Structure 1
């Protein structure tokens, strides 16, 4: 099921007529009850939106992280009133459509990630990425961490921005370079390269997180990307042995800075994309 997302004007109290009603599918940021009234806080377009549930019994099963379909009436002078709410089961929603956008400093970044997933050309990698972005523990770290402490993308959310830039640069290079060099890239390798670029620094979700053990924080992040993805790799292998092998190989070759030694073409593109993204950030900072 593809989520239906209303426009932001319908989400912000005071931007619509008193009788306006809107329906949509959202990720819950928080739900709590106070004085017999439920308060529902939703992620939307880089913002948080709050509405009230007059009958808390209608919010059975709703908690932080739940995906819900909601109908509400917006008012001009206070929180909007929830007319209908239902918690969705896994399989009733598309995770990439309901990522927790208000965790991000820049609300456009989750949208870039969503469209990157949509551009993947192979079903195993698309299905696998939907499962990855449904892992909210991983996603929160990915969305909020800096890419570095004092170097490039050294702001909250910098890791996601840098990772997206590397994936997009790699994607564009793969589209053009093979024709120039009279070679070809199959769809599986294309997707593996794009996702390896996206996850090349994913080990920082362990090495740069205060929630990690001190020993992981002392471990080179290049060698932790596969560890950070470990819970999801068996699922990828079950979807496609070839896809799994390609992603693991490319991530390892990149971590060792030996893309040039791979039997696969263009693996060094990820290292090039990393340098371009970091260099452009530093040039803007000067």
Structure 2
């Protein structure tokens, strides 16, 4: 199978990763003094009164690239009554620079503010997407699959990550979480590849105690259930029914068992070790694993999975912390503030 057929342009476009034709600008692309028509989600609104008694509506818009302050000086009360928090709106206005940031001043025409219904906009506008190339990451993952020497493990990985096109579409699109780490489209692929590459580095150092093929396979498979645990909806990233009722660990184990049954004479002990890695990769009972890591490969998988997740959280804090600040805000999930260094050298 040729690499270009594994993830062709048609598939990428259908997933929304190559669509450059959308007419509405994203927040990151706005520039001062331009007149725009675009689509945003409303995250806050407040009807206020200026010193001269004129009422104005102060709004906060967002899309997957950022947030934008907006002001309506002309139809404040009208739009306050018809816009609710969480609404998706199509608006016209002029981008200005005010108080060291861009701001959108809404136009005078009341018809230039339209509350859109579900189906009238692409929900992917409001879901952050990985900054890395989906195609390049997937090709790297496939190369790791090809490098697995065990015929049984390689066939298991090929059937899941290459031949199961339905799973592949979900896997490429899925986040690795709702809020903690890699919580964006393509985040599951990004996290999986990073864990696989970390596994390769650990094998170089501890190859005398580790089964390389087993560790690589476990690294690829540990979060596959997340492809069915989360979904992208008009409201953003959400948990599916199977995610709520089963969780990605159970879903992943069931997937591996189902595929392994289709492979002739798949060793029961090998399947059990793979399942153990999936089941124990959270590392602790209180973190959601029904058992602790009890093989060298399972222990390494837990450690590098946690490492990649934590560093992703640190990176996210660095990106959202304003220039000039040496410390992030307190992060509840990490339980700390973190030092911000723009230059990591």
TM-score by length of 2: 0.48
Match of 1:273 in 2: 304
Deviations 1:152-185 (A, max 9, x none): 111100011101111221222122124xxxx433
Higher mean Cα deviation, 204-213 or 271-280?
Answer: 204-213
On the 8 A contact 1:208/1:217 being kept in 2, the answer is: no
Which of residues 266, 281, 290 is equivalent to 1:254? 281
Contact 1:203 1:224 in 2 (8 A): yes
Q: Give the whole-Å Cα distance in 1 for the aligned partners of 2:190 and 2:240.
A: 25
Q: Rg bigger for which structure? A: 2
CA distance in 2, matches of 1:260, 1:4: 38
Asked if 1:184 corresponds to 2:184, the answer is no
Unaligned runs of 5+ in 1: 6-25, 31-40, 49-103
Query: Number of residue pairs matched?
Result: 191
Rounded to whole Å, the distance in 2 between the matches of 1:27 and 1:177 is: 33
Partner-residue secondary structure (3-state), 2:296 = coil
Instruction: For 1:275 and 1:261, locate their aligned partners in 2 and report how far apart those are by CA, in whole Å.
Output: 13
Does residue 205 of structure 1 match 2:227? Answer: yes
In structure 2, C-alpha distance between the alignment counterparts of 1:283 and 1:243, rounded to whole Å: 35
Structure 2: distance between partners of 1:241 and 1:220: 24
RMSD: 3.2
Matched, 1:217 2:248: no
Gaps of 5+ in 2: 20-131, 234-238, 319-345
The structure 1 residue matched to 2:154, chosen from 126, 138, 146, is 126
Distance 1:227 1:214 in 2: 16
Q: Secondary structure at the match of 1:209?
A: strand
Please give the alpha-carbon distance, in whole angstroms, between the structure 2 residues aligned to 1:112 and 1:28.
Answer: 12
Give 1:53-132 correspondences, 5 Å limit. 106-132=134-160
Q: Larger relative contact order (C-alpha < 8 A, sep ≥ 6)?
A: 1
> What TM-score, normalized by structure 1, do the two folds share?
0.57
* 8 A contact 1:27–1:43 mirrored in 2: no
What SS is found at the alignment partner of 1:273? Answer: helix
Q: Does 1:163 align with 2:207?
A: no
Q: Does 1:135 align with 2:190?
A: no
In structure 2, the CA distance between the partners of 1:268 and 1:236, relative to structure 1 (3 Å rule), is farther
